[in-house]
Amino acid sequence: MIIDLTDTTSSQIASALLKARRNAGSPAMGMIGTIVVVVDEASHHDALKAANEAGREHPSRVLVAILRPGRGPSGLDAEVRVGEGVPGEAVLLRLHGELAKEPQSVVTPLLLPDSPVIVWWPGGGPKVPHEDPLGALARRRVTDAAATRRGSVDFTARAEGYAPGDTDFAWSRLTPWRALMAAALDQFPTEVTGAEVVSAKGNASADLMAAWLQSRLQIPVEQKASRGPGLTAVRLFTPAGPIALTRPDGAVATFSIPGQPDRPVALKRRSTAELLSEELRRLDPDDVYARTLSYLVEREKLPADAKKVAPEQRRSTHATAKKAAAKTANAPVKTTTSKPAPGKKTTTSAAKPSAAKATGGKAAAKKTPVKKAAGQKKAAK
């Protein structure tokens, strides 16, 4: 059922929702919360479609606020949708003139009582979401750095103005990537000496991925550009060879661990509806995102050398990784006593593995001190 209301009020919209619900034969609402979508006229159709698809998993009242500020007269037009493939309720709100500058006065009476409010900006979002008039009403504020114009994402403002409940689709897109890299360090605990993140130029998710790796592992991380689409590869460099997750086509990735056969992994680029559904599953503050966002700002202040990986690490091939892993697994650990070359430290044949932790998509690795060779110990005495 679709009900069109012209030059209306919030009270009339609420009455139309109740009437539509009764006519549909479902007087009980049975919805978990309210999703407020702040969008322009050109893209409201795609945003409403994504919200309705997410609503199949999380039935909600969807309020699509289309703001039309200008010098014209203030007014409110609405379109109420119940049924017709809509899992919950959907209302299109077109706010004209001065009313568009005070959208909270229209939206607040339409929020479901005693339930969470999620505000989503498909077009990028404000610099400080919780200071926005609609963002102040929400428990969860979802932005999308990838939807902004290239180079216009101000992560510094996002970090300084962060409030519990803020998140971004650029971070949500990394969930399967972070989980797989954390699982790799569980399967193959070792020292990580550097990392590499490869993506299309200007990819916000790649910036967050590099900051997350560098903050958790305390290693240099280099970012490299590719033709895309999106994030195409993440590599962790270890003494036995690289741990790599590569996805050149945006659909199927190859998961490589030293000493193990390559494995294909379904890692397709997820739709907007799938990303929104993920955010609706968890409404508590995302502390990992907050720490990564702060570190990203600090990382930009680091010298260029601190972000790069040594050339010898980049030259490590997968074949070398397999050979080194097999030799490490089969050969006994021996300590060399030969005199080291000038300017070069002597190490044991097998590095002591460091502890890697992965809890809820988090990975951490500590640096492992290199054991002194017997010759170095005698020299020290």
Give 347-358 pLDDT, tens digit per residue.
443 333 443 343
pLDDT of 210 higher than 90:
yes
Domains along the chain with CATH numbers: 2-170 (no CATH), 175-312 (3.30.360)
Which of the 8 DSSP states describes residue 232? Answer: E
- Determine the Cα–Cα distance for residues 138 and 129; give it in Å rounded to an integer: 10
Tens digits of residue pLDDT in 28-82:
567 889 999 999 888 899 999 999 899 888 889 999 999 988 777 889 999 998 8
Among 39-53, 180-194, 302-316, 359-373, whose mean pLDDT is lowest?
A: 359-373
DSSP 8-state assignment for residue 115? S
338 falls in which pLDDT band (50, 70, 90)? very low
Do the Cβ atoms of 97 and 121 come closer than 8 Å?
no
Task: Write out the E strands in the chain.
Answer: 2-5, 34-39, 61-68, 75-83, 86-96, 117-120, 140-143, 166-168, 194-200, 221-226, 231-238, 241-246, 252-256, 263-266, 356-357, 364-365
- Reported pTM: 0.76
Those residues with Cβ within 8 angstroms of residue 331's Cβ, 6 or more apart along the chain or in another chain: 349
Q: Is 123 exposed, middle or buried (0-12, 13-18, 19+ CB in 10 A)?
A: middle
* Side-chain-side CA neighbours of residue 346 (13 Å): 15
Q: How many CB atoms lie within 10 A of CB 217?
A: 24
CA 219 to chain CA mean position, Å: 21
Give tens-digit pLDDT for 141-163. 999 988 876 556 678 888 888 99
* Adjacent-strand bridge partners of 80: 3, 91
Contact 308, 220 (CB under 8 A): yes
